[in-house]
A and B are shown apart, each in its own frame.
Chain A
């Protein structure tokens, strides 16, 4: 349904998307995960036909996003970051406007608007001015706008940002219910959201895809690794290098000042040895424990790899 190949886009000299390829099957919900400025929004803008790519290609429902943009846009619902809306319009006037420009025949407009209002739980505010609505309601009006023409593909840029916990749950349930019938790409910082709603995850970092799999697989991939959290009291500038030198240690990363994450093979327990070593050196052992691997760790690990490589080279 969506095919992205070697997409590249920069703003002036600043590269935003370096080389992104992925594909989404019909009816699938794909989570688009990455830290700030990873290139998530830019990729989504290219797919929605708002920005052209510098090179590479993308097709949505079989239509090329650059040469058949209008055909793509007819089949696509898009919710940009922060849901930009017209504050001086009422919710139903706003949805009517979007129904019109999305080519819904005038006979069906009232019915489609009503359906979108109901789907997004905003029937009670339909006659209110958008400018008077809370952030959560505005976000849902944005979602209603994206859904109004029953698009085959939905692109949602951080749809749950700024919502209260109840609204977040409702929105996630709504997105989940859209899967199967619609193909959805959803970007987020919130990791549990991905494991809750998405069938597959693409993690991007610095404009490149660093991982692509189901949330479960990504977690189990890392399960071959045992992580030990280590915190020391005294300043130890060489500790990172020293820990890395210990036999059996695969990787060491700094999580905070004087906190380290030591990774070893799953079948190797170095806790005892590490503890003795830190105490002997007089660094002052404060805490030492095994870390459970979560999607969050996968995310952190994948998106911090590059900077660590730079660190070890230096």
Chain B
């Protein structure tokens, strides 16, 4: 645990000392502010569900850009050699880095807290869906970051890592649409695997354990694959 937190701290240090994080946060906040303005001004609704859905879509692009450097950069610069010859296991390295990326995403999400605050101050929003939306966003984003981390463990080049991560995430997002082509058993499986299907309920204020279990087990599995990928690297 000590090692994991030390690595998480280091990753957060990298994020906050790099211009990429600030550029991403600016883009994220600007677009969210714009969507929020449109929804509230034109629809006159004290409701975050459209904004939340929109954030989920921005995450498709945002998360692979956050996670791309995690392992790629260490391998490109050779610092991986020092990290992996310290008494740190592959699992600790993967978890530490994952938590660092989640911390970065959580920081960006926290910067949008003023939006629901406006709703509470000037309207009467339903509080439940606000909470569940943010929980859903954090889980969705963490799932994306796990995939992005896996991509980063496979590619030495950050751009390749970002593109690979983005491809995997988009594919999982789109699975729900493609599901209708097939007959019921296949459709059900594909829909269950889709990130999109599990996200909708959170924006409506529904906390379903099935969705929680889906995201958590998905994250666990992808992180496990990342550990294997890091271990496998040694043999090349």
- State whether B78 touches A82 (Cβ < 8 A): yes
CB interface residues, B 82-97, toward A, < 8 Å: 82-89
- B83 proximity list for chain A (CB < 8 A): 101
- Stretch of A45-53, A209-217, A220-228 on the interface side: A45-53
Q: Determine the distance from Cα of A78 to Cα of B84 in the docked complex, in whole angstroms.
A: 11
Q: How many residues of A contact B (CB 8 A)?
A: 28
- State whether A51 touches B234 (Cβ < 8 A): yes
- B210 proximity list for chain A (CB < 8 A): none
- State whether B89 touches A11 (Cβ < 8 A): no
Number of CB contacts from chain A to chain B under 8 A? 71
CB interface residues, A 80-111, toward B, < 8 Å: 80, 82, 84-86, 88-89, 93, 97-98, 100-103
Known A84-B78, A101-B3; contact A49-B85, beta-carbon cutoff 8 A: yes
Q: Determine the distance from Cα of A98 to Cα of B88 in the docked complex, in whole angstroms.
A: 11
Which B residue's beta carbon lies closest to that of A89? B13
Q: Determine the distance from Cα of A45 to Cα of B234 in the docked complex, in whole angstroms.
A: 10
- Determine if B183 is an interface residue (Cβ-Cβ < 8 Å): no
- State whether A70 touches B6 (Cβ < 8 A): no
- State whether B81 touches A84 (Cβ < 8 A): yes
CB interface residues, B 53-97, toward A, < 8 Å: 77-79, 81-89
For the complex formed, measure the closest distance between the CB of B174 and the CB atoms of chain A, giving whole angstroms: 36
CB interface residues, B 161-177, toward A, < 8 Å: none
Identify which of A50, A52, A93 gathers the most chain B CB atoms within 10 Å of its CB: A50
- Determine if A112 is an interface residue (Cβ-Cβ < 8 Å): no
Known A84-B77, A84-B79; contact A48-B10, beta-carbon cutoff 8 A: no
- Determine if A145 is an interface residue (Cβ-Cβ < 8 Å): yes
- State whether B18 touches A88 (Cβ < 8 A): yes
- State whether A48 touches B2 (Cβ < 8 A): no
**Cβ-neighbour of B79 out of A52, A70, A86 (below 8 A):** A86
For the complex formed, measure the closest distance between the CB of B2 and the CB atoms of chain A, giving whole angstroms: 7
- Determine if B7 is an interface residue (Cβ-Cβ < 8 Å): yes
Q: Determine the distance from Cα of A73 to Cα of B82 in the docked complex, in whole angstroms.
A: 11
- State whether A48 touches B17 (Cβ < 8 A): no
- State whether B13 touches A93 (Cβ < 8 A): yes
- Determine if B236 is an interface residue (Cβ-Cβ < 8 Å): yes
- Determine if A4 is an interface residue (Cβ-Cβ < 8 Å): no
Q: Determine the distance from Cα of A145 to Cα of B82 in the docked complex, in whole angstroms.
A: 9
- A12 proximity list for chain B (CB < 8 A): 236
Which A residue's beta carbon lies closest to that of B86? A101
Which B residue's beta carbon lies closest to that of A103? B87
CB interface residues, B 202-236, toward A, < 8 Å: 234-236
**Cβ-neighbour of B88 out of A48, A76, A101 (below 8 A):** A101
- Determine if A74 is an interface residue (Cβ-Cβ < 8 Å): yes
- State whether B14 touches A88 (Cβ < 8 A): yes
Which A residue's beta carbon lies closest to that of B79? A84
- A100 proximity list for chain B (CB < 8 A): 2-3, 6, 9
**Cβ-neighbour of B86 out of A73, A82, A89 (below 8 A):** A73
Q: Determine the distance from Cα of A101 to Cα of B235 in the docked complex, in whole angstroms.
A: 24
- B88 proximity list for chain A (CB < 8 A): 73, 101
Known A51-B234, A103-B2; contact A85-B79, beta-carbon cutoff 8 A: yes
- State whether A88 touches B7 (Cβ < 8 A): no
- State whether B235 touches A84 (Cβ < 8 A): no
- State whether B7 touches A101 (Cβ < 8 A): yes
- State whether B81 touches A50 (Cβ < 8 A): yes
For the complex formed, measure the closest distance between the CB of A27 and the CB atoms of chain B, giving whole angstroms: 22
Q: Determine the distance from Cα of A88 to Cα of B16 in the docked complex, in whole angstroms.
A: 10
- State whether B6 touches A97 (Cβ < 8 A): yes
- State whether B82 touches A84 (Cβ < 8 A): yes
Q: Determine the distance from Cα of A309 to Cα of B97 in the docked complex, in whole angstroms.
A: 52
Q: Determine the distance from Cα of A98 to Cα of B86 in the docked complex, in whole angstroms.
A: 8
- State whether A101 touches B85 (Cβ < 8 A): no
Besides A89-B10, A98-B82, 14 other A-B contacts (C-beta < 8 A) = A48-B81, A49-B85, A50-B85, A73-B85, A73-B87, A78-B85, A80-B82, A85-B79, A88-B14, A97-B10, A100-B2, A101-B3, A101-B83, A101-B86
* Chain A residues with a Cβ under 8 A of chain B: 11-12, 45, 48-52, 70, 73-74, 76, 78, 80, 82, 84-86, 88-89, 93, 97-98, 100-103, 145
A-B contact pairs, 29 of them (CB 8 A): A12-B236, A48-B81, A49-B85, A50-B84, A51-B234, A52-B235, A73-B86, A74-B87, A76-B85, A78-B85, A80-B82, A80-B85, A82-B78, A84-B77, A84-B79, A84-B82, A85-B82, A86-B10, A88-B14, A88-B17, A89-B10, A89-B13, A89-B17, A98-B86, A100-B3, A100-B6, A101-B3, A102-B87, A145-B82
